[in-house]
Amino acid sequence: MLHLQTRTEHFTSPLYLESGRILEPFDIIFETYGTLNEVKDNVVVVTHALTGSHHAAGYYEDDKKPGWWDGFIGPGKAIDTDRFFVICSNVIGSCFGSTGPMSRMFPYDEPYRYKFPVVSIKDMVKAQRLLFDRLGLHKVHAIVGGSMGAMQALQFAVSYPNFASKIIAMAGTHATQPWAIAFNKIAQEAILRDPGFKQGYYDPDEVRKEGLHGMAIGRMAGHISFLSHESMARKFGREYRRDDGLFELFGKFQVETYLEYNGFNFTKWFDPLSYLYITKAINIFDLARGFDSLEEAIGQIKAELHLIGFEKDLLFLPSEMIKIHEIARKFGLTCNYLEVPSDYGHDAFLVELEKFDTYVKDALG
C-alpha cells in the first residue's frame, strides 16, 4: 500500500543559516508513504529537484497527474513502499508549503519577498534534519535524490555522516559548474526584467492567473538544458505547426510551440521569487565549502555511496559524478558508479526509470 499522508511541522526555534542569518519561525511540509516499522530502520528519504515538491508519488483527490516520481515510488517499485517508509519534504525557499520568500514574515502580516534570506543546499538539509529529529528519525536506511536532490543527498552524507546508511545520488554534481550557472542566469534576468515582476512586489494571484512572460522565457532556456540534441530531434523532428505557413514570419516549428506552452504554464504554478532563491542555492552549491578541499569533504562520508550519471546529461556531466566516485574510492569508501546509456539528457532520471530502477532496488538491499 502507498499510505500517502501529508503533514506540516512548525518550528519556533531559530534556523541558523550558512550566511550567518537566521530564519525564525519556519514550516516544513512533507509527505510519507508506506509504514514505519517498530525499530524505525526502514526509512528512505527522497529529496526533490528545483521545481519538485514533497508530493513525490500518488494522487491527490483532484490530481490529473501523480507525484513527480510516481513511477519510482510505490508498492513493488524501485523504492518499494511495501518494504520502506518513504519521506519527502519540501525544501525551505520553495513555494509549496515550506517557508519561502512569499511566506508571512513573522510578526508582520506581509510576505518576506526580498527580505527572505539566501538559503543554501546545506541550509535546506539542516532544516530537514531538524524535521527528522522531531519525528524521532535519528538514522535512516537511505537518502535518494536526483539533480538538486542529489546535491542534498551528498550534503547529508558530508554534514551528517552517521545519519544515512546509504546515499543514492543521480544526475548531480559536487559543485555547480559554469554551464548550469549560465542557464540559471538567463532565467533570473528574464524574471527580473519583466515589468509584471514589479521588482519583486507582484501580486501572486495575478501571476497565477496571467502568467509571467519573462519567467516563461527563462523556463524555456532551462528546459533546453534538461534535454539533449537527440531527444529533441526524436520528439519533434522538423515538424511544423499544421496551421502555420513555412514562410510566415511567426510560423512555428512544433518544438517552438512546445517550449512556449510549457514555459507559460510553468509560471502559473511556480512562484518567481522562489525560482530566484532556489536557483541561487543551486548556483552556490559546493560540497567542498567549509573544507580545504573536495577530498577533505568527501573524507567525512561514512555512508555507502551509489552514484548514477547519464551519458548525454548536458547540465551535470557524468564526469562530475565520476570525480566524486574516484575520490571516495581513494578513501576506501564503499562507492559504486553506474553510467546510464541514454541520449535523453538531464531529465532521464525522471523519465527513463527502467534503465536504472533495478540498480536502485539492489542498492537499497
Query: Which residue numbers are catalytic?
Result: 147, 313, 346
Given a contact cutoff of 8 angstroms between Cβ atoms, the answer to whether 295 and 332 are in contact is no
Q: Measure Cα distances from 26 to 30, 113, 251 in Å.
A: 13, 15, 48
Q: What is the 3-state secondary structure (H, E, C) of 222-288?
A: HHHHHCCHHHHHHHHCCCECCCCCCCCCCCCEHHHHHHHHHHHHHCCCCCHHHHHHHHHHHHCCECC
Burial (Cβ within 10 Å: 0-12, 13-18, ≥19) of residue 332:
exposed
Helix, strand, or coil here: 27? strand
Residue 363, amino acid: A
Residues 6 or more apart whose Cβ sits within 8 Å of residue 155 = 121, 122, 125, 285, 287
- Alpha-carbon span 179 to 175, nearest angstrom: 12
